[in-house]
Amino acid sequence: MKIVHIHHHYWPVVGGLENAVKALAEEQARLGHEVHVVTSAYGAEGRPREEEINGVYVHRVKAVRLMGYPDLMYPLELPDLFKDADVAHGHSQNSLFTVKMLQHAKKRGVKTAIHFMAVDALGDHPNPIIRLLGSKYSSAVTKRAVREFDIHMARSLRDRELLMSRYGARDVHYVPDGVSNELLNTEYLGDWFRRIRNIESDYVLYIGRLHPLKGIHYLIKAMKIVSDEVKNSSLVIIGPGDQRPYIDLANRLGIRDRVLFLGYVSDREKIGALDASTALVLPSICNYVEVYPMVISEAWARQKPVIATAVGGIPYRVKNGENGILVPPRDAKTLANAITTLLTDKELARRLGARGRKYVKSWIQIARETLKLYGE
């Protein structure tokens, strides 16, 4: 089968969706299929326009980014490789690049699949302009994608529910992102991580971008409360972004010695950080940033519980008291109570983390599910 994946960014651009497209494409290639990716040249300056990466043929086309937004990337070239493709699989209906390429493929008689994400997720965005104009744009492109393309997939149960209830879509297939075999099968690395980072305390872990919408300031405020109740406790923060406002906040609260910022780390160190932690914490404050947070799957793959705010697609995955703890957004006190609960009840943390493992699928499972959908 000849498969063409479409997204406006691909490796070496690194991000949640970019990583997911790469993992899926490479797994399908390993299963013996001819897999291509059409993407823009943005973020890949210096790379060849055409190259093969891990068995996947990557085609980078000229594109222009309207108003500076990645989702408003417009392709200036339409490649010929669709003419003999069996399926064109586009990622994110919000991506103008993806939609235009899928429309081009459909005109060539190719079966089209659209992987929806972040459906109507801008309604609570703190920026009023994005909340107003972004919501209108998102609604318009979602309606068009439902109407025009053949196979409908959703990365989250939240998006699947909205597509069927608000947009009248039928047969929306829930196809989440998978996790790597490395996450599932690597030996325990917690002791190694503690040793190289010189960590002796019990800690909770944040993994993700350092961005205001991620609610990290609420997490640090919660840790101030936790530190008064659990003396040997700390917070480890992994991810790219500006650390300065959060370091300043930790200093003002007098808990700078309880908060460790590691920035970007290797996959091996991330696994070790998860293994040594008591729980993963996601304190995000709006729907847009947590449509299908992969880090939840990564925590469960290492049998760790998740403490998370009830925003976006999180409540469809984290079941309170089953595989983690749900808390309201922007509520440092309730978040602190949840953290304290798991830090002081290790058996509860162990049970919640162990149950989370059953909610995780590997990329090979996801690849086979998508191949089945292409053929139906």
**pLDDT tens figures, 243-274:** 999 999 999 999 999 999 999 999 999 999 99
**pLDDT tens figures, 214-244:** 999 999 999 999 999 999 999 999 999 999 9
Mean pLDDT of 62-67: 92
Closest by alpha carbon to 77, among 97, 92, 95, 91?
97
Q: Provide the token pair at 250.
A: 């930790």
List of E strands, the chain: 2-6, 34-40, 50-53, 56-61, 63-65, 73-75, 87-91, 111-116, 151-154, 172-174, 202-207, 233-238, 259-263, 279-282, 306-309, 324-327
Q: What is the DSSP letter of 188?
A: P
Q: pLDDT tier at 289 (50, 70, 90 boundaries)?
A: confident
Quote the CA–CA distance of 135 and 129 in Å, as a whole number.
9
**pLDDT tens figures, 69-127:** 899 999 999 998 998 999 999 999 999 999 999 999 999 999 999 999 989 988 777 78
Residue 376: per-residue pLDDT: 80
**pLDDT tens figures, 333-375:** 999 999 999 999 999 999 999 999 999 999 999 999 999 999 9
pLDDT beyond 80 at 20:
yes
Residue 121: per-residue pLDDT: 82
Residue 126: per-residue pLDDT: 75
| Cα distance between the two ends of the chain | 13
**pLDDT tens figures, 121-180:** 887 777 887 778 888 989 999 999 999 999 999 999 999 999 999 999 999 999 999 999
* Strand-strand pairing, 73-75 and 63-65: antiparallel
Between the alpha carbon of residue 290 and those of residues 35, 41, 86, 226, 311, the distances in Å are: 29, 27, 32, 25, 7
Closest by alpha carbon to 259, among 235, 281, 280?
235
What is the 3-state secondary structure of 20-69? HHHHHHHHHHHCCCEEEEEEECCCCCCCCCEEEECCEEEEEECEEEHHHC
Quote the CA–CA distance of 333 and 213 in Å, as a whole number.
18
Quote the CA–CA distance of 332 and 222 in Å, as a whole number.
5
DSSP 235-256: EEEESSB--HHHHHHHHHHT-G
Residue 129: per-residue pLDDT: 78
Q: What is the DSSP letter of 1?
A: -
Residue 204: per-residue pLDDT: 98
Q: Provide the token pair at 284.
A: 């995000």
In the chain, what are the domains? 2-178+361-375 (3.40.50.2000), 182-359 (3.40.50.2000)
Residue 31: per-residue pLDDT: 97
Residue 132: per-residue pLDDT: 82
Closest by alpha carbon to 51, among 39, 59, 43?
59
pLDDT beyond 80 at 304:
yes
Quote the CA–CA distance of 369 and 94 in Å, as a whole number.
23
Quote the CA–CA distance of 32 and 201 in Å, as a whole number.
47
Residue 130: per-residue pLDDT: 78
Q: Which residue has the tokens 């299963």?
A: 31
